[in-house]
Amino acid sequence: MSDAKKLFIKTYGCQMNVYDSERMAESLGGSGYTQVATADEADLILLNTCHIREKAAEKVYSELGRMKPLKDARPDLKIGVAGCVAQAEGAEILRRQPIVDLVVGPQSYHRLPEMEARIQTGKTALDTDFPAETKFDQLGKRPTAARAPSAFMTVQEGCDKFCTFCVVPYTRGSEVSRPVDRLLTEARDLVARGVREITLLGQNVNAYHGTGPDGREWGLAQLIRALAEIDGLARLRYTTSHPNDMEDDLIAAHGDCPELMPYLHLPVQSGSDRVLKAMNRNHTAEGYLRLIERIRAVRPDLLLSGDFIVGFPGETDAEFDATMDLVRTVGYGQAYSFKYSPRPGTPAAERTPVPEAVATDRLHRLQALLSEQQYAAQDAMIGREVGVLFEKIGRMEGQLIGKSDHLHSVHAVADPALIGQVVPVRIDASARNSLSGTVLKP
Ligand code: SAH
Ligand code: SF4
Ligand code: F3S
């Protein structure tokens, strides 16, 4: 038996949870933990959870149920719940599932080392504070070991928008932006570890307004331009953005900042003005379409992605058709669509739901249209030369897998020495969820 304690983290939900899981593992590294790939070999299991829809939240309890035999067999095993379900349900988790030792919210996980020490004494630990000190100031130095070429970096967290269907303002708290100098340092350190692409994360990333080195408030475009200056950082992306925060300089950056990749995730949720209003989205369908036109004017090959909710309370057939029309007008290269899920504590959950069968039918129709658009966008890449950042060895002999500028997964026969480089690739074929191509001489 080695002395190193073993940590297994399972991550649900959005990219911010992926980033948080990495930071939690790093912070527990100081308590002697190394990360392992399966629950069976772990001394501490952390579930980093998502509360966005009922199904996502319920998954946590079924996973905990599956872990009960593990805990019965090894009473020393510790189990923790982190993330948005931890924030939303707090002590209720400890009541409902006694195998849980620790519950930590997304804003207090810098306190994990103390919490871990506490549970080793046989007590439980619960922390769902929104502390005044931000976790980013408290978390220790990040490791320096080499890492994969693409990384997430949280620049903004929380949301003040209060869409009537959404739990995020309650689970993540109000908007906080990290200062520019901290982000530049973190990005430089990531690049020194082999990172070539950084995706800037925020629940409303384009509402970013961090303190700049000049003491003024910087917007996302300013931050992107400063990050783009870092030697060795080839690509920048950001997600998720809100249509009402697409300011002029950010739109301009899509046209004149070559490091900013031609991909934009810009959720609209619905194409009906009445539904948008009931959702508290604060813009119209027309306003969204005008915005897309302005961004495409500076970056015509931009690949657009979006999020949609069908079956919002009160949504009529005609209102759903307005969503279908908007999708036809925009033409998405990629999209996520969901059946409305009532969330406890949100205003929309008080309203009369659309019958389940109606919502299901709408979801199928919307998804069929979105898939058609996705495949058309993929097919349009055939014959084109694209930049691909190779990330890892593929499943087939001799193949590498990477991401194109437009965020398509691309595989090609290539020398493993090309991992971590952006390489020109000619796209030859399109499959369901990926493209394949031929590496061109750089
Ligand atoms: N901040 C992002 C979205 C975060 S949540 C934004 O403003 O666009 C990711 C997506 O989950 C949302 O865009 C929405 O489409 C979906 N979603 C959020 N709450 C939901 C709910 N109650 N039911 C169904 N889908 C939901
Ligand atoms: Fe949720 Fe709306 Fe905030 Fe997005 S903008 S996180 S959908 S409340
Ligand atoms: Fe889910 Fe929380 Fe992200 S609810 S989508 S993990 S912000």
Average pLDDT, consecutive stretches of 10 residues, N- to C-terminus, the chain (442 residues): 84 96 95 95 97 94 95 96 97 96 97 97 96 86 91 97 97 96 96 97 97 97 98 97 97 98 98 98 98 98 98 98 98 98 96 96 98 98 98 94 98 97 98 95 66
For ligand 2, pick from 160, 161, 336 the residue to mutate: most ligand atoms within 8 Å of CB.
161
**d(Cα 269, Cα 282) in Å, to the nearest integer?**
12
Nearest bound ligand to CA 52? Answer: 3
* Sequence-distant (≥ 6) Cβ neighbours of residue 329 within 8 angstroms: 289
From the CB of 267, is ligand 3 less than 6 Å away? Answer: no
The tens digit of pLDDT for each residue in 361-420 reads: 999 999 999 999 999 999 999 999 999 999 999 999 999 999 999 999 999 999 999 999
Asked if residues 49 and 80 have their Cβ atoms less than 8 Å apart, the reply is: no
The residue contributing the CA closest to ligand 2 atom 1 is 166
Helices vs. strands in the chain: H and E counts, helices first? 14, 21
338 CA → ligand 1 middle, Å: 8
Place of tokens 């959720």: 267
Mean pLDDT of the chain: 96
- Residue 442: per-residue pLDDT: 59
206 CA → ligand 2 middle, Å: 12
Nearest bound ligand to CA 164? Answer: 2
The residue contributing the CA closest to ligand 1 atom 8 is 267
- Residue 78: per-residue pLDDT: 98
> How far, in Å, are 190, 236, 307 from residue 264 at the CA level?
23, 11, 12
138 CA → ligand 3 middle, Å: 22
From the CB of 166, is ligand 2 less than 6 Å away? Answer: yes
**d(Cα 421, Cα 403) in Å, to the nearest integer?**
11
For ligand 1, pick from 172, 200, 245, 307 the residue to mutate: most ligand atoms within 8 Å of CB.
307
Instruction: Give the rounded percent of residues in the chain with a pLDDT score beyond 70.
Output: 99
Query: What three-state secondary structure class fits 338?
Result: strand
From the CB of 242, is ligand 2 less than 6 Å away? Answer: yes
**CA-based nearest residue to 222, from 204, 208, 239, 241:** 208
- Residue 132: per-residue pLDDT: 77
- Residue 1: per-residue pLDDT: 44
Nearest bound ligand to CA 84? Answer: 3
From the CB of 243, is ligand 2 less than 6 Å away? Answer: no
- Residue 140: per-residue pLDDT: 82
Rounded to 5 degrees, φ, ψ at 171 are -85, -30
Residue 353, amino acid: P
